[in-house]
């Protein structure tokens, strides 16, 4: 079956592609909706422009569109436009997305897929957060935290590539401060810099950190594929 993937560049959307490919699906294109700001309740925002490097490294073409506002209906219309384009160009039969616990997102995506006669595929749905993070690292996914927005997560996590030694600390902090260990509540956003899907890792040449005392952002200013790795 040919699928499009709703793609943000973070760990969940990238790992979802990895899983469905292992299950025998063909991911023919990436669909990236650029929201107006990080206030979106439906879409991932930070560092979206660098998804073009991930697309190139995975050798999967990317279709993009910008949403004119953060209104959910506007964002869904933008995604519907992308899905229709993907049906016309690539003959897709379904959409894969990396939702884990958000019934709000799942309901919106399933309704949209039903409207367009597509199958929604959710390989991460209801996965155990701690086991999921272990699976990510055991599968050789290198991802960094590019935003933090929760008690217990300070600016030291910005730009940090998560290793197995970080998992116990993250679990402790999530239990103490009550945030989701898989970050699906927006406590952090991530960006994948290397994984088995990539032909070349992403090299970050320049970045900026912004921190207001509670929330922060790791902004990638310049990056490229590392052909020497």
Fold of the domain spanning 140-225 = putative n-type atp pyrophosphatase, domain 2 (3.90.1490)
Would the pLDDT of 41 be above 80? Answer: no
Query: With the C-alpha atoms ordered 182, 197, 83, 121, is the resulting torsion angle positive or negative?
Result: negative
Task: Indicate the pLDDT class of residue 31, thresholds 50, 70 and 90.
Answer: very high
Would the pLDDT of 44 be above 60? Answer: no
Distances (CA, A) of 39 to 31, 68, 186: 20, 13, 10
In the numeric block, which tokens belong to residue 165?
A: 């030694």
Q: Where are the domains of the chain?
A: 2-121, 140-225
What digits encode the pLDDT tens for the residues 105-135?
888 889 999 999 999 999 999 999 999 999 9
What digits encode the pLDDT tens for the residues 214-225?
999 999 999 999
Task: Indicate the pLDDT class of residue 39, thresholds 50, 70 and 90.
Answer: low
> Which region, left, alpha or beta, applies to residue 181 given φ > 0 means left and ψ of -120 to 50 means alpha?
alpha
Fold of the domain spanning 2-121 = Rossmann fold (3.40.50)
Mean pLDDT of the 51-76 span: 89
In the chain, % of residues over pLDDT 70: 95
**Is residue 203 within a helix (H) or strand (E), and if so which, with residue range?**
strand 202-211
Would the pLDDT of 40 be above 80? Answer: no
Would the pLDDT of 42 be above 70? Answer: no
Residue owning tokens 């499009």: 4
> Which region, left, alpha or beta, applies to residue 53 given φ > 0 means left and ψ of -120 to 50 means alpha?
alpha
């Amino acid at each position: 079956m040919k699928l499009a993937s709703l793609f943000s560049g973070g760990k969940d959307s990238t790992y979802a592609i990895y899983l469905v490919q292992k299950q025998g699906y063909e991911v023919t294109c990436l669909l990236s909706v650029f929201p107006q700001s990080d206030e979106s309740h439906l879409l991932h925002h930070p560092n979206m422009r660098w998804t073009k490097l991930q697309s190139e490294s995975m050798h999967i073409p990317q279709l993009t569109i910008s949403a004119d506002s953060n209104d959910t209906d506007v964002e869904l219309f933008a995604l519907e436009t992308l899905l229709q384009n993907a049906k016309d160009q690539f003959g897709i039969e379904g959409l894969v997305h990396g939702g884990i616990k958000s019934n709000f997102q799942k309901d919106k995506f399933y309704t949209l897929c039903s409207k367009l006669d597509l199958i929604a595929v959710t390989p991460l749905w209801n996965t155990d957060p701690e086991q999921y993070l272990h699976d990510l690292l055991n599968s050789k996914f290198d991802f960094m935290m590019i935003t933090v927005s929760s008690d217990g997560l300070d600016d030291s996590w910005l730009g940090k590539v998560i290793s197995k030694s970080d998992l116990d600390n993250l679990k402790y902090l999530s239990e103490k401060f009550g945030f989701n260990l898989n970050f699906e509540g927006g406590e952090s956003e991530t960006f994948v810099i290397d994984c088995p899907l990539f032909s070349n890792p992403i090299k970050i040449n320049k970045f900026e950190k912004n921190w207001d005392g509670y929330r922060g952002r790791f902004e990638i200013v310049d990056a490229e594929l590392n052909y020497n790795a």
